[in-house]
Amino acid sequence: MTKASLATKSRLTLKSCLLAAVALTGAVISGAAEAKTLKWGAAREIASLDPYSYGDTFTLSVLNHVYEGLVRYTGDLKIEPALAESWETVSPTVWRFKLRQGVKFHNGNPFTADDVVASLERVTHADSPLKGNLPAYKSSKTIDDFTVEIEVNGPYPLLLNDLTNIFVFDKEWLVANNSLLPTDSGKGVKGYATDNANGTGPFIVESRRADSKTVYVKNPNWWDKPQHNIDTIEFLPIASASTRVAALLSGEIDFTNVAPLQDLPRLSASPDVKVLQTNELRTVIFAFNLGDKLFESDVKDKNPLKDIRVREALYRAIDIDAVQKRAMRGLSRNTGALIAPAIPGYEPSQDVRLPFDLDGAKKLLTAAGYPAGFNFQMNCQSDGLVNEEEFCQAVAAMWSRAGFKPNLSLAPRSQQTPKRVKGEFDVISFGWANEPMIDAYSILIQVMRSKSGSGGVFNWGNWGDPRIDALIDKAGVELDTGKRITMMQEALKIAKTEHLFIPMHQQPMAWAMRSTVAQTVQASDNKPRLWLTTLK
Amino acid sequence: MPAFLLKRLLNAAGVMLAVAFIAFLIFRFVGDPVELMLNEQASQAQRDELRVRLGLDKGFVLQFATFVGNAVRGDFGISYRNQQEVFTLIAERFPATFELVLVATFLSLAIGIPLGVYTAIRRDSLLAKALQFVSVLGVSLPSFALGILFILVFSVTLQWLPAFGRGETVQLGWWSTGLLTASGRKALILPGVTLSLFQITLVMRLVRAEMMETMRTDFIRFARARGLTMRSVHFRHALRNCLMPVITVTGLQIGNLIAFALVTETVFQWPGMGLLFVQAVTFVDIPVMAAYLIVVSFIFVSLNTLVDLTYAWVDPRLREDALSGAANAR
Amino acid sequence: MLAEKIRKPSPIARFLDSDIGWSFRRTPAAWLSALMLVLLILTALLCPLIAPQNPYDLAQIFIDKAEIPPIWAADGEWPFLLGTDPQGRDVLSAILYGTRVSLIIGFAAVLVSMTLGVTIGLVAGFHGGRIDNLLMRLGDTVLSIPTLLMAILVSAIFRELLPPNLREPFAAVVLVVSISLTNWVQYARTVRASTMVERRKEYVLAARIIKVPAIRIMARHILPNTLTPVMVAATLNLGLAILSEATLSFLGVGMPITQPSLGTLIRIGNQYLFSGSWWLVVFPSLQLGLIVLSVNLLGDWLRDALNPKLR
């Protein structure tokens, strides 16, 4: 313990000396302009500095400032080369990547093919929580110092999409710090990469105090031409929404990627603050427990939700415009489709809702044999989707008026998730962004597919359908984009006509920043890309 | 004296052991640690292996002994939530909480004592009555509501003081302090005042009661009879005489302030131990909860023991009382 | 003598005529706070009759009535006297029902902790020796954990131990248990001290000699003599218990949003602090402050009135 901390300390001093020198030269070059700092008030801390230690989109999006993948998304979500310069398919199952030369890690080590292979092995290791993010991976090998081949299980059209979120580590650094294997908190070992970082990205981790402040400084040796002018990012997690808003209004933070919807009018009204607002890719739906029995109900012997008339009644009972106007503050986009328009697989003809029809809903419920309704448990999270608390309560009220007796359970994600995963619910609110794939295959394979192998990981309520499963499996090996998309559309159509899910809306996302932030890019994946952000 | 010292220390150790037992029960029985640590795809073999490695297959007594042994060495395991050593997490946050408590204690004495003296010697004046009422108001208003109000007025409307966090901190060895920078001191004001309000009323009421008691005693009567000025009687004789209980209560209250700081820390997003604990509770991060319980109780018990021992040292008459179980009575 | 028998004064009249009653009538803070408290309790208990809306009945809540300001503001709307929340729930009704939740939990917690503490104190004081030592060490341990921390831990543990679908319906019970388990020591110590004095008195010795069962001696003879300080402690603790409940709910470990107490309402209102909907946080806070203030004023008066030193 003492030895280790001593070692860390000396390394830290060394590092800060280095950084000081770097900062000095930087200042000289830029003509002694004052250092530009961006204070980023986030809603929560990232899980760890190790991108492979926890499968969490937000953590990955923050760490993308430090680590990079072979490819990356542009500001408008097109795939472009990053650490790989080009690629080709050698055979339907083998991809060859030409790597960028002259790239250096933050500790000065050169970036080579060995690093890529080591990283791929690490992320796909059996203990890795992120192995699901690269489902098709079979093996990889170096051809020369700057060429890598990746072999996949079968023909797989979405490898590049997956690789946008697989970040590359320095093999030498991993070996030196005994971290070649992914950190498994269950092993009782603290991973070195959990607290330390060494990537190739535009920013370097200078210091980190979890839950309080993490400081990132500009990487002066970044391989790409910087489109930002930020010298320092201070990452400040502020869990309480109102504190975050207060901090932004008083100038203690410059930027937040989670601005509460109810505070947007007040924030926009302030002359020093501007709000960026659009709709996310994430589509919010209600999903059902379609097992043999309800989890918590007065109907014990069967599951009324298996009756399509009951599901349609629930659908028709929702006054989506009232939800949109009030609970979502007029900022969400109502949807009849299960995916957002920007996702390949979307079809405008599917984006039509069943109309709000209270009497129709009551009639359907009576026809299904439940004129007096029935109890069921509705599981929503208090810190999950945008305004989830609000829209769940609103929908529960609407269902009550149609004759149902929803028993709403609202609690933090950490308490609700275990119940959801175990299928201990009757109805859940559910959001799916189809990221990082940006393709309908994501929701199809992970959510809608019946559980089998790596498919249907999120099929918590037994809502699989053999017809949909067959289409998904066919699309998974189809390399012709046009055919693939037709198959996916067909699968989505079955889910829609069966009312397997109730589509709600594409949720709004709102960022807010002080006027000191000159320009930034807000893509619909809701990931801040501060390397595309300039300050005044 | 050595016998008393030993007994008192053994007593404290016994209480700490009981606290450790509660912490152990939480750690062991609130949720299965194996289920919490492994992801859902883990195989039965992996589960069994982890169970053996954590020592969960051993007997209950042995497990508890291991837990206590680890706790004494400061090893509380690894946080489920952010995968860091729990001891490091708590040690990193301790200075923030301690400085907040220090400021609150200072404020409570600096404001509470003068107010207490005033309400005691001018007990029938209108201002004293008003202060008395305000002091009841002070213990009746929830501190989180006051904190929210302060943020609304001083941070948002007037923009005088920061709404969250510690501002700039300076690292002195492992200790991070906010007292050495202007922004750090500024950030201390609102949470410090919020945390101290309850304490101010407590000190004020205590000083008032003690003063009124003392003013009735003979030596004050003699002092007045000797023709000393009222000022001298009040401050040199009466106040001095009632400072000892005030200091004692303040010392004992530090433990409570540390615990109560978790509400203030939540409102002001103050990166101290309390905020860590509240977050651990929402995430069911058992090692952090258990460790926080032990650390705070340790501070609490140490302070109590220290106060008792000092008292016994100053006033031998108290030794017997202290032994008869009323040690903690307040 | 005769006149007294004829008039048969009511208990209230008897109370007002006693020493304490005299002090009560003479102290405006006392009777004002008592009046306020009675009013608050009555409105809370009768809330189903008075409240314009049943905030628990989802079918009565219309989201198009969301965030209406109080009636005196420009956009105010009848019958929402204190405005509505983002769900369209009437704030006044939510406060009345929330007060009922807060008061019930507060009273129940005091009752349970008092019963627990008095029983433990009686047993410890009456039997002495090992039992006494054990029980008092238990009390020391409880006191060596700060009350708020203890309450949070106990509620977290109990919630985890309950099956998931019982956690919300039993949230109030969990709160009562966690507040009671932290607050019984004070009663136990008070009762133990006076029991130890009483048990040496001759009437107890006499009762023991004629073999009256211990339980009967404790309940019939000793208990009544220890009740005055217990009542004072109970009154002062009621304020504390209500505040504890509010604090736990504010921290998110208390009452769920589906059956909100005043603390829950403040927590939710806090999220809307900057959106202009100030009424969501201000009115529940005021109500909470008012309740605790009335209880504390009454408790302060009671303590002073029963303290012979201050007469």
Contacts B289 to C, Cβ<8 Å: 153, 156
- Written as one letter, the residue type at B38 is L
User: Minimal Cα distance from A187: which residue of B?
Assistant: B50
pLDDT > 70? residue A22: no
pLDDT for the residue numbered A184:
60
CB-CB: which of B15, B139, B289 is closest to C141?
A: B15
Q: What does the block give as tokens for A527?
A: 């990931």
**CB-based contact, B89 to chain A, within 8 Å:** yes
- Average the pLDDT over A462-468 and give the result: 93
Judge contact between B144 and B263, C-beta under 8 A: yes
Q: What does the block give as tokens for B233?
A: 């009687």
Tokens 């299980």 identify what position?
A153
Alpha helix stretches (DSSP H) within A250-387? 264-269, 308-316, 320-322, 358-367
pLDDT > 90? residue A362: yes
Contacts C271 to A, Cβ<8 Å: 241-242, 260, 262
Helix B86-121 crosses helix B240-268 at what angle (to 10 degrees)? 130
pLDDT > 70? residue B324: no
B69 burial level (CB within 10 Å; 0-12, 13-18, 19+): exposed
Task: Please list, residue by residue across A2-29, b when 16 or more beta carbons sit within 10 angstroms of its beta carbon and e when fewer do.
Answer: eeeeeeeeeeeeebeeebeebbeebeee
- Written as one letter, the residue type at A504 is M
Task: Compute the mean pLDDT over every residue in chain B, rounded to the nearest whole number.
Answer: 80
Model confidence at A33, in pLDDT bands (50, 70, 90)?
Answer: low
- Cα distances from A474 to residues A438, A479, C121, in angstroms, run 19, 10, 74
- Written as one letter, the residue type at A401 is R
Model confidence at B307, in pLDDT bands (50, 70, 90)?
Answer: confident
- Written as one letter, the residue type at C11 is P
pLDDT > 90? residue A316: yes
- Cα distances from A531 to residues A225, A229, A251, B10, C104, in angstroms, run 10, 8, 22, 60, 55
- Reduce the secondary structure of chain C to three states and give it as a string: CHHHHHHCCCHHHHHHHCHHHHHHHHCHHHHHHHHHHHHHHHHHHCHHHHCCCCCCCHHHCCHHHCCCCCCCCCCCCCCCCCCECCCCCEHHHHHHHHHHHHHHHHHHHHHHHHHHHHHHHHHHHHHCHHHHHHHHHHHHHHHCCCHHHHHHHHHHHHHHHCCHHHCCCCHHHHHHHHHHHHHHHHHHHHHHHHHHHHCCCHHHHHHHHCCCCHHHHHHHHHHHHHHHHHHHHHHHHHHHHHHHHHHHHHHCCCCCCCCCCHHHHHHHHHCCCCCCCCHHHHHHHHHHHHHHHHHHHHHHHHHHHHCHHHC
pLDDT for the residue numbered A29:
41
- Cα distances from A241 to residues A244, B275, B309, C275, in angstroms, run 5, 15, 47, 11
pLDDT digits (tens, 9 = 90+) for C185-203: 889 988 888 888 888 888 8
Measured distance CA(B22)–CA(C154) in Å, rounded: 10
pLDDT > 50? residue A89: yes
CA distance A311 to chain C (A): 19
- Cα distances from A61 to residues A38, A58, A165, A192, in angstroms, run 17, 5, 9, 20
CB-CB: which of B142, B277, B301 is closest to C246?
A: B142
pLDDT for the residue numbered A16:
40
Q: Among A128-137, B8-17, B54-63, where is mean pLDDT lowest? A: B54-63
- Cα distances from B162 to residues A284, A516, B189, C196, in angstroms, run 36, 19, 9, 54
Alpha helix stretches (DSSP H) within chain B? 2-29, 33-37, 44-53, 60-72, 86-121, 126-140, 143-150, 182-215, 218-225, 230-232, 240-268, 273-282, 286-314, 318-321
pLDDT > 80? residue C175: yes
Measured distance CA(B83)–CA(B77) in Å, rounded: 9
Percent of chain B with pLDDT over 90: 10
Backbone φ, ψ for residue A310 (5° rounding)? -65, -45
Measured distance CA(B43)–CA(B48) in Å, rounded: 9
pLDDT for the residue numbered A440:
93
Measured distance CA(A245)–CA(A44) in Å, rounded: 14
Percent of chain A with pLDDT over 70: 92
Task: Compute the mean pLDDT over every residue in chain C, rounded to the nearest whole number.
Answer: 83
Q: What does the block give as tokens for A146?
A: 């700057």
Measured distance CA(B247)–CA(A515) in Å, rounded: 50
Contacts B157 to C, Cβ<8 Å: none
Sequence-ordered list of residues with C-beta below 8 angstroms from that of B184, at least 6 positions apart, any chain: B166, B167, B168, B169, B170, B177, B178
Model confidence at C134, in pLDDT bands (50, 70, 90)?
Answer: confident
Measured distance CA(A476)–CA(A155) in Å, rounded: 8
Model confidence at A190, in pLDDT bands (50, 70, 90)?
Answer: low
Judge contact between B326 and B314, C-beta under 8 A: no
- Cα distances from B216 to residues B51, C90, C170, C210, in angstroms, run 67, 55, 53, 47
User: Minimal Cα distance from B49: which residue of A?
Assistant: A187
User: Minimal Cα distance from C56: which residue of A?
Assistant: A397
SS3 A73: strand
CB spacing of B78 vs A185 below 8 angstroms = yes
Task: Specify the pairing of strand A405-411 against strand A213-218.
Answer: unpaired
pLDDT > 70? residue C63: yes
**CB-based contact, C149 to chain B, within 8 Å:** yes
Q: Among A434-448, C5-19, C140-154, C219-233, where is mean pLDDT lowest? A: C5-19
pLDDT > 70? residue B78: yes
CB-CB: which of A241, A326, A389 is closest to C63?
A: A326
The span from the first CA to the last CA of chain B, in angstroms, equals 23
Model confidence at B209, in pLDDT bands (50, 70, 90)?
Answer: confident
Contacts C259 to A, Cβ<8 Å: none
Element (H, E) at A501: strand A501-514
Model confidence at C9, in pLDDT bands (50, 70, 90)?
Answer: low
CB-CB: which of C58, C86, C274 is closest to A245?
A: C274
pLDDT for the residue numbered A37:
94
Provide the greatest CA pair distance for chain B.
Answer: 88
Judge contact between C112 and C176, C-beta under 8 A: yes
- Average the pLDDT over B281-300 and give the result: 84
pLDDT digits (tens, 9 = 90+) for A282-309: 999 999 999 999 998 888 889 999 999 9
pLDDT for the residue numbered B25:
81
Instruction: Name the residue with higher pLDDT: A281 or B30.
Output: A281
CB spacing of C251 vs B301 below 8 angstroms = no
- What is chain B's alpha carbon radius of gyration, rounded to the nearest angstrom? 24
For A463-499, give the DSSP string. Answer: ---HHHHHHHHHHTT---HHHHHHHHHHHHHHHHHTT
Task: Compute the mean pLDDT over every residue in chain A, rounded to the nearest whole number.
Answer: 87
CB spacing of A249 vs C274 below 8 angstroms = yes
pLDDT > 50? residue A7: no
Identify the DSSP state of A304: G
Backbone φ, ψ for residue A121 (5° rounding)? -65, -40
Model confidence at B328, in pLDDT bands (50, 70, 90)?
Answer: very low
Instruction: Name the residue with higher pLDDT: A136 or B57.
Output: A136
pLDDT for the residue numbered B44:
65
CA distance A139 to chain B (A): 21
Model confidence at A25, in pLDDT bands (50, 70, 90)?
Answer: very low
User: Minimal Cα distance from A406: which residue of C?
Assistant: C58
Model confidence at B27, in pLDDT bands (50, 70, 90)?
Answer: confident
SS3 A51: coil
**CB-based contact, A9 to chain B, within 8 Å:** no
Contacts C182 to B, Cβ<8 Å: none
Element (H, E) at B176: strand B175-177
Chain A residues with at least one Cβ partner in C under 8 Å:
240-242, 245-246, 249, 260, 262-263, 265-267, 295-296, 322-323, 325-327, 377, 382, 389-390, 393-394, 396-397, 399-401, 406, 408-412, 418-419, 424
**CB-based contact, A240 to chain B, within 8 Å:** yes
pLDDT > 60? residue B126: yes
Q: Is the dihedral of CA B239, B244, B250, B253 positive or negative?
A: negative
Q: What share of chain A is helix, strand, coil (3-state, %, to 5)?
A: 35, 25, 45
* Optimal mutation site among C56, C58, C158, interface A, most CBs of chain A within 10 A: C58
pLDDT digits (tens, 9 = 90+) for A331-342: 999 999 999 998
Judge contact between B143 and B153, C-beta under 8 A: no
CB-CB: which of A210, A242, A412 is closest to B84?
A: A210
Measured distance CA(C308)–CA(C306) in Å, rounded: 6
Measured distance CA(A238)–CA(B265) in Å, rounded: 12
pLDDT for the residue numbered A259:
92
**CB-based contact, B263 to chain A, within 8 Å:** no
Contacts C131 to B, Cβ<8 Å: none
Judge contact between C147 and C183, C-beta under 8 A: yes
pLDDT digits (tens, 9 = 90+) for C248-268: 999 888 888 878 899 999 988
pLDDT digits (tens, 9 = 90+) for C66-103: 888 888 888 778 888 888 888 888 999 999 999 999 99
For A153-211, give the DSSP string. Answer: SS--TTHHHHHTT-BPPPHHHHHHTT-SSPP-GGGT---HHHH----SSSEEEEEEETT
CB-CB: which of B140, B149, B277 is closest to C296?
A: B140
pLDDT for the residue numbered A205:
95
Measured distance CA(A488)–CA(A503) in Å, rounded: 17
Instruction: Name the residue with higher pLDDT: C26 or A50.
Output: A50
Identify the DSSP state of B154: I
Instruction: Name the residue with higher pLDDT: B327 or B89.
Output: B89
Beta-bridge partners for A37: A232
Model confidence at A311, in pLDDT bands (50, 70, 90)?
Answer: very high
Q: Among A471-475, B116-120, B230-234, C168-172, where is mean pLDDT lowest? A: B230-234
Q: What does the block give as tokens for A431?
A: 């959001």
- Residue B284 backbone class (left: φ over 0; alpha: ψ -120 to 50; beta: rest): left
SS3 B57: coil
Please compute, for residue C188, the number of CA atoms within 13 A of its CA located in the half-sphere on the CB side: 29
Task: Please list, residue by residue across A41-64, b when 16 or more beta carbons sit within 10 angstroms of its beta carbon and e when fewer do.
Answer: bbbebbbbbbbbbbbbebbbbbbb
- Average the pLDDT over A483-503 and give the result: 95
ipTM of the complex: 0.79
Nearest to C270 by CA among A239, A257, A511, B137: A239
Q: What does the block give as tokens for C71?
A: 């009636």
CB spacing of A247 vs B164 below 8 angstroms = yes
pLDDT for the residue numbered B316:
57
